[in-house]
A and B are shown apart, each in its own frame.
Chain A
Amino acid sequence: MLLFFKTLSLELNFLVRKVYIFAIFLVSIIYLNFGYNIMVIEGLRGINFLETITFFVMILTMGSMVLGILNATQEKRCNFEELSNVLPGFWRRHFAKIFSWSLISLIYSITVTIVLIYFFKKDNTGLEIFSLEIFLFNLLQLFIPMISFWIIGYSIEKMFKKTISWPLLISLWYFTLPFDNFLYFPVKMALNQYTENPDSGSFIHFGINTSFGCVSRKLWFLLFGIGLFILSLLFKNKNKIQKNFKSLSTIIILIFIFIFSFFLSLNSINFSSEELKLLHNYKDINLSQLLKKSNKTEPSGKVTSMEIELGKADNNKLNYKITMDIEKIIGNEIIFTLYRSLNVKNMKINNEQTQFIRKDDLLIINGIKSNNIKITFDVSGKLPNTIGEITQKTLLLTYDNAWYPILGNHQILIPINIGNYKVAYTNNQILSKYKYDLIIKSNRKDIITNLSDIKGISFKGKDYGPLIIQGKYNINNVNGLTFVAPVQLYNYYSEESSFFRKHLKTTLNTISSQYNIEIDTNIDKIFFVKLNNNGTDINSTFKRVHSNYFFDYYNLLNPDQSEKPRNYMNKQFNYTNIIATILWEKINKENHYIRGSFIHTLVELSENGDTNWLQHNLSNTKRNLKFNNLEKHLSDEDKKDLEELKKINLLQNQNEIKFASKNLLESWIMRNRSN
């Protein structure tokens, strides 16, 4: 080992003398500075800048390949090889060489990390707390491609004449470009993945996210480089005595590694797409059933306390144990609503195993003998993102969605028309009318709940239901308002927390008087999260659950933070967004198709009187109803609503359109009230 370190220091000594290495590195750092500070393109700050680092990686891989070529050329020229091949330290020397290159590349990656953290700190992004992640990111995105190309450049240059090696290396560099749209091939090649971007997407609440696929491909590429290096040593050196059984076995093993790891790399493409997968698997949902009027009854019983223990992170799977105390049960049946993809593994009532009937989204328990019970569920499963976000590192579970057993028989999804012959589903907000005692315990670290202003793993309090968030968020109490936002955006948004509160209150009061409805204007918490509705919600940028207000930071993202939040928000987030959301709370939407499909259009009509969008929406709906054979399932109310909308579409006068639209909206609300 001592000899290895001595050889390593020798190799490092050789490298340090090569001024051009440092010139390449210095130029790349200047380029980095140029990209970040001089050539500022909107949005390329913070984590977003890291994502666009691929151009930088391209330059770096080219640079390290040139270094490998220069190393090999120098060795070819100096006639040292024949002697070194018979020296006892032959293999030691060559592996020390790889180590010395790795060390230089590592130092370089650390330098880039320091430079980036300096940029982020200077920019007041708050990202410096992710220094370790940024370093790991750099290891993956800079260090491995860099060292791999260095080794490959060296090995190929060593094995072949320049006439072969240079075209080969240029082709390799080209085919491994990080952008596959540079490559015009009918079949997507896996090769380009070796210098790919990380999978952080733009969802900055993930932090800097790298997937197994990304890591495995990078390691494969490194392995490929090392394999090529060994082959070049075995074939190119004149040390033919080493082509014995051991060498042949090595070659055979290397060939096998090449073949199998290539399949691994191809396979791992599946793992590389965003961790936040769009789970739209509604195949087992019967659309016509959702439109059928059910004999709904008021929930039997009242929840007095609930304790949830969240299981450990299990990729996109949610695991938890929940215990509820329920009182005032009438009759011997009790019903809970729990989204159908969640599996109840175990259920106990008063500590006794209990049988239940699972019917779509309902859990029906018969034979209840007492008015007051303690019921325990063990639940596990995945969820579509409209119901909740569950990943290895993040959670967004709000209590208006049936990710936990909600007492009573509720419709979870409301079908809506989204055009292109498609029916989508939006979540029906299931809101409890009373608060109860809550205990939330978590085996995941640093979660945020509606029960506290700080992150933690154990919470106790009282609210309408459990609200759990996990991710790279900051939470703080700012002037009596709990404020949550991704670390990178926290300072930007929290500066104007009082503005948000005031602005929201004014808007809510305006809506209240405009539509003559009562609105709870309490604002306790503001969350800047990723709403994950994937365009299927009534509002993709805003959501309200009692006094908790959720803004979709992704849709409101002002990446370069050049404008004050209030100005930027006004541009990106209009008044109609809030109206639609608030009215949606007040509308009876269960077993309806038309209301969900038209509420946003109708709100806009009531504000601006322009029927262009209504016309488009109507013809779309007509096609959809026919295509999905839904006409016969439409309720009388739906049919009536459709007729009203058609009438509005025929109106010419803008004021009349506004008035009629508002009237129709009010009629929806009124009916709800009367219900």
Chain B
Amino acid sequence: MSLVIKNITKKYSKKKYALNSVNMEIPNGIYGLVGPNGAGKTTLMRILVGLIKPNEGEIFLNNQCMLKNIDYFRQKIGYLPQEFGCYKNLTVKECMNTIAILKGLNNKNKRLEQIDKILKEVNLSNESLKKVGNLSGGMRRRLGIAQTIIGNPLLIIVDEPTAGLDPEERIRFRGVIRKIATNRIILISTHIIEDVKNNCDGISLIKNGVIKQFNSFKEFEELSVGKVWQKTISEEEFELYENKYNILSSNTIDNKLVIRIYSDERISNAEIVKPSAEEGYLSWIKK
């Protein structure tokens, strides 16, 4: 199974591109789409779920053109928008039931059976009779991901899934995503590298509507190998370095400032270091 995105272009005006000839090929598994705010992630997500029509390009899911028959493919897609909510006076189970009916699941027994199974998978079985309005942020996110699985979709699109969650919930959420990733494509849009690092089989970076695709996280990390330098400086020197170089991070150790710099050229008195994933990402977006 694969999702192929070919030359997708979305213009907001004649000169302003939200997406500029985006090409991607995404196999089964979890795939991360990382980029800063305004990079074009949400636009791409909305094109994939049929909320926005691109100006150019085509999308194929299992070699079938999605854009020409979006109504059919809506049944094959699960979508968790960045801001997910449901009627607050419904219980978790009722909310799932509502979405299942809207997804076209007709048979009552099968529907309820599937809902129970999914709730178990996302660890919400105990909360099934709880009102949506009474759920915590993390639980609501898990309910969000649970509803995407209804109808056993081929493609699940998740927009900024862990934004606003505490670390514990974030870890739990990643676990849920991993659990449901069998035999389908899960595309996660995020600007949190940790979400991608620990979970994704593939990754793409997006900036100003342009995509760079990596086959693995390792490949992504290698993006800035040999280009990240570490140097210890005094606090007074910081402004000077900030103006001159692309500073990725700074830490104070024993009243000294340890900075890490992205640079293609050698920096005097600085040692080359192995970049972290975040630094790789930052170095790329700051390019």
CB atoms of B49 and A3 under 8 A apart:
no
Min CB distance, B100 to chain A, in Å?
A: 10
* Interface residue from A78, A88, A243 paired with B86 (Cβ < 8 Å): A78
Hey, which chain B residues are within 8 Å of A14, CB to CB? 87
Chain A residue with Cβ nearest B111: A6
Q: How far is the CA of A240 from the CA of B18 in the complex (A)?
A: 15
Q: How far is the CA of A84 from the CA of B102 in the complex (A)?
A: 8
Hey, which chain B residues are within 8 Å of A562, CB to CB? none
Q: How far is the CA of A244 from the CA of B85 in the complex (A)?
A: 28
CB atoms of A3 and B71 under 8 A apart:
no
* 8 A Cβ contacts from B47-83 to A: 49-53, 70-71, 74-75, 77, 79-81, 83
Chain A residue with Cβ nearest B107: A2
B273 within 8 A of A: no
* 8 A Cβ contacts from A71-108 to B: 74, 78-80, 82-90, 92-93
Chain A residue with Cβ nearest B49: A86
CB atoms of B52 and A241 under 8 A apart:
yes
CB atoms of B89 and A17 under 8 A apart:
yes
Hey, which chain B residues are within 8 Å of A83, CB to CB? 79-81, 84, 99, 147
Hey, which chain A residues are within 8 Å of B75, CB to CB? 88
* Interface residue from A7, A17, A84, A241 paired with B70 (Cβ < 8 Å): A241
CB atoms of A87 and B99 under 8 A apart:
yes
A506-544 Cβ-contact flags toward B at 8 Å (1 or 0): 000000000000000000000000000000000000000
Min CB distance, B39 to chain A, in Å?
A: 19
B106 within 8 A of A: yes
Chain B residue with Cβ nearest A93: B102
Hey, which chain A residues are within 8 Å of B87, CB to CB? 14, 74, 78, 80
Min CB distance, B57 to chain A, in Å?
A: 14
CB atoms of B74 and A86 under 8 A apart:
yes
Residue of A2, A3, A78, A240 with most chain B CB atoms under a 10 A cut-off: A78
Q: How far is the CA of A244 from the CA of B67 in the complex (A)?
A: 12
Q: How far is the CA of A259 from the CA of B50 in the complex (A)?
A: 32
Contacts A79-B83, A88-B75; is A238 near B101 (CB within 8 Å)?
Answer: no
Chain A residue with Cβ nearest B101: A6
Min CB distance, B130 to chain A, in Å?
A: 16
Q: How far is the CA of A243 from the CA of B53 in the complex (A)?
A: 9
Contacts A78-B86, A80-B85; is A86 near B101 (CB within 8 Å)?
Answer: no
- Number of chain A interface residues as a range: 20 to 34
Hey, which chain B residues are within 8 Å of A88, CB to CB? 71, 74-75, 102-104
A10 within 8 A of B: yes
Q: How far is the CA of A100 from the CA of B87 in the complex (A)?
A: 17
Q: How far is the CA of A113 from the CA of B77 in the complex (A)?
A: 48
A350 within 8 A of B: no
B87-125 Cβ-contact flags toward A at 8 Å (1 or 0): 111000000011101111010000000000000000000
Hey, which chain B residues are within 8 Å of A80, CB to CB? 85-87
Residue of A79, A92, A243 with most chain B CB atoms under a 10 A cut-off: A79
CB atoms of B85 and A87 under 8 A apart:
no
B224-255 Cβ-contact flags toward A at 8 Å (1 or 0): 00000000000000000000000000000000
Chain A residue with Cβ nearest B133: A78
Q: How far is the CA of A80 from the CA of B96 in the complex (A)?
A: 12
B46 within 8 A of A: yes
Chain A residue with Cβ nearest B52: A240
Min CB distance, B84 to chain A, in Å?
A: 6
A-B contact count (CB 8 A): 74
A371 within 8 A of B: no
Hey, which chain B residues are within 8 Å of A353, CB to CB? none
* 8 A Cβ contacts from A94-150 to B: none
Chain B residue with Cβ nearest A239: B51
Hey, which chain B residues are within 8 Å of A3, CB to CB? 101, 104, 106
* Interface residue from A6, A92, A93, A241 paired with B50 (Cβ < 8 Å): A241
* Interface residue from A7, A92, A241 paired with B51 (Cβ < 8 Å): A241
CB atoms of A6 and B51 under 8 A apart:
no
Q: How far is the CA of A90 from the CA of B102 in the complex (A)?
A: 7
Q: How far is the CA of A241 from the CA of B68 in the complex (A)?
A: 11
* Interface residue from A87, A240, A243 paired with B102 (Cβ < 8 Å): A87
Chain B residue with Cβ nearest A82: B81
Q: How far is the CA of A74 from the CA of B89 in the complex (A)?
A: 11
CB atoms of B99 and A241 under 8 A apart:
no
Hey, which chain A residues are within 8 Å of B81, CB to CB? 79, 82-83
Q: How far is the CA of A83 from the CA of B102 in the complex (A)?
A: 11
Chain B residue with Cβ nearest A17: B89
Chain A residue with Cβ nearest B46: A238
A230-259 Cβ-contact flags toward B at 8 Å (1 or 0): 000000001111011000000000000000
Q: How far is the CA of A79 from the CA of B83 in the complex (A)?
A: 6
* Interface residue from B53, B74, B89, B104 paired with A240 (Cβ < 8 Å): B53
Min CB distance, B184 to chain A, in Å?
A: 17
Residue of B74, B84, B102, B106 with most chain A CB atoms under a 10 A cut-off: B102
Min CB distance, A516 to chain B, in Å?
A: 88
Chain B residue with Cβ nearest A18: B89
Hey, which chain B residues are within 8 Å of A79, CB to CB? 81, 83-85
CB atoms of B98 and A241 under 8 A apart:
no
CB atoms of B51 and A89 under 8 A apart:
no
A551-579 Cβ-contact flags toward B at 8 Å (1 or 0): 00000000000000000000000000000
**Selected A-B contacts with CB under 8 Å, 5 pairs:** A82-B81, A83-B84, A86-B74, A239-B51, A243-B53
| Residues of chain A at the chain B interface (Cβ within 8 Å) | 2-3, 6-7, 10, 14, 17, 74, 78-80, 82-90, 92-93, 238-241, 243-244
| Residues of chain B at the chain A interface (Cβ within 8 Å) | 46, 49-53, 70-71, 74-75, 77, 79-81, 83-89, 97-99, 101-104, 106, 147
**Other than the known A3-B104, A83-B81, A92-B102, what 19 A-B pairs have Cβ atoms closer than 8 Å?**
A7-B102, A10-B98, A17-B89, A74-B87, A78-B86, A80-B86, A80-B87, A82-B51, A83-B84, A83-B99, A83-B147, A84-B102, A85-B51, A86-B79, A88-B75, A89-B101, A89-B103, A238-B51, A241-B50
